[in-house]
Amino acid sequence: MAVPHGPDGVGLARRRLRADLRARGASEATVDDAVLVLSELLSNACRHARPLAAAAATEDAEVLVRARPDAAPAAGAADTRVRADWHLDPDGRVTVSVTDGGGPTRPLPATPSVTAKGGRGLAIISSLACEWGVRYDAGALGEVTVWASLGGH
């Protein structure tokens, strides 16, 4: 699903993921972990990366989600999106990913000071996920996808 590049998109994607995983019978622990991971991935994309190029944002198979359901998309709205994806395997394993337009830095876990207000997102993901990684698109759009797989509980 394509979501707005910003806080509204994080909330929309969290609600949609929670509803989808519950409807598919995932355990509450798996749902909670997946929602937290998705939140961290989207927050990092919003904070550190550009939105997707207009063409990439509109090629999604999912319908674009707007911050307000009654709002018409503004001119140029397609270039202010990131893409959130997830998959639930039959064994209960959930893979969550976020694709953005890349940024000036590469996604790497940080070791912030105790008093730092941020910088813990990838460390949280590392602690919850069985594995996680980053895919870089070598194409002209420069997309970056950060993904994480969580084992079923």
Q: Along the chain (153 residues), what's the average pLDDT of each consecutive run of 10 residues?
A: 89 96 95 96 91 61 37 46 94 94 76 58 88 85 92 71
For residue 103, what pLDDT is reported? 86
Cα separation, 99 vs 90, whole angstroms: 24
For residue 108, what pLDDT is reported? 64
Q: What is the CATH number of the domain that holds 81?
A: 3.30.565.10
Write out the DSSP string of 41-78.
HHHHHHHHSPPPPHHHHH--SSPPPPSSTTPPPPTTGG
For residue 6, what pLDDT is reported? 84
> Residue 105's domain spans which residues?
2-150
Could you give the number of structural domains in the chain?
Answer: 1
For residue 74, what pLDDT is reported? 43
76: left (phi over 0), alpha (psi -120 to 50) or beta: left
For residue 113, what pLDDT is reported? 53
φ, ψ of residue 2 to 5 degrees: the values are -90, 135
